[in-house]
Structure 1
Amino acid sequence: MTLAPPPPLSSTSAVRLRLVPQPAQGHMARRIDGAWWPRSPDLASELPGLLGVLPHGWGQVTSVLVDEAVWSPFPGRLLVANQVVRLRRTTTQRSPSTVCLLAPGRGRWDLLVVPPSATDAEAGRLMESMAAVVRDGVDLGVAVR
């Protein structure tokens, strides 16, 4: 198991995340719950920041499934804020790439992963296109920069 480094304190390293509103009880879930733009392909250093800014209502994420080809090598488990998070790999090529977050008893959330090498304009287009799939065309998501 690997210990996650503490998140940086610099405001320029804030997590770049956009979430769409969760459906009300009884409504069909969306395919994508948001978009995440990590700063590097180092999952072990990027994931703690992401998990730290997720909505409280999502619960404790204990398992993360990612496309192995997108990230540099990473351990099978990571200790994040005194919680063990299991990191699982998939070799299934998805276009676009996603990260799947699992919280027992709470649910599953899929985030579009914007490539770390994307320019601000490219990332903006990807995040906006993700927002366009929100039901009824209403985007109530939040951007955490």
Structure 2
Amino acid sequence: MKAADAAPGRFDGGWWPGSAEPVIEFTELAVALGDAVGPISRVSYHLATWGAMDRKMTIGGRLVRFEGFRAMDPRTVVVIGADGRRVSLLVAPPGTTEDAADTTSSAAGLSGVEDAVALVPLPQGADARAEQRWEAEGGRVAAVR
């Protein structure tokens, strides 16, 4: 997390999840951010980057909603508290090296969004997972004639 007196920017901190399992990682994240955000009410994430999960789950005795979006940058997760406080995190993909994770944390402190996301790689297979999910949901690529 950035220091309270840090320059404003899109991101409030960086996060390096240990896996791509959303139930495990988002639960740990919600518990860890309790002091910064208060009781968590929502977690927003890039739909194709994370595995399947329920849209609602009880964490720490509170109902938390999980919202996956296709239009969201795959390198970000947003956590919103019950009182509206929000934390936007730049995410180092699971499996990256410790140096890459450190770069993500440093990049989260940059004020320019383009500068920050340029330093963080896309999660491996993010594009392929999006296409697979689209195909599974009935989407089809039109044949070229």
The answer to whether TM tops 0.5 is yes
The correspondence for 2:3, drawn from 21, 32, 37, is 21
2:38–2:81 Cα contact (<8 Å) kept: yes
1:76–1:86 Cα contact (<8 Å) kept: yes
Stretch moving more, 110-119 or 86-95: 86-95
Stretch moving more, 103-112 or 82-91: 103-112
Measure the CA separation in 2 of the matches of 1:80 and 1:88: 15
Pick the structure with greater CA Rg: 2
Greater percentage in helix = 2
TM-score normalised by L of structure 1: 0.68
1:32–1:112 Cα contact (<8 Å) kept: yes
Consecutive unaligned residues of structure 2, counting only runs of 5 or more, are 113-145
| Change in CA separation of 1:120 and 1:46 when aligned onto 2, cut-off 3 Å | same
User: Structure with the greater relative contact order (CA < 8 A, sep ≥ 6): 1 or 2?
Assistant: 1
How far is 1:75 from its partner? 1.0
TM-score normalised by L of structure 2: 0.68
What's the Cα RMSD here?
2.3
Question: How many residues of Structure 1 are paired with residues of Structure 2 in the alignment?
Answer: 112
Consecutive unaligned residues of structure 1, counting only runs of 5 or more, are 1-18, 135-145
Percent identical = 24
Q: Which runs of 4+ in 1 moved over 6 A?
A: none
C-alpha offsets along residues 72-96 of structure 1, whole Å, 9 cap, x if unaligned?
A: 111101111111100001001526x
2:34–2:40 Cα contact (<8 Å) kept: no
Letter in 2 for 1:102: I
User: For 2:17, what is the secondary structure of its paired residue?
Assistant: coil
2:15–2:91 Cα contact (<8 Å) kept: yes
Residues 1:130 and 2:112 are matched in the alignment: no
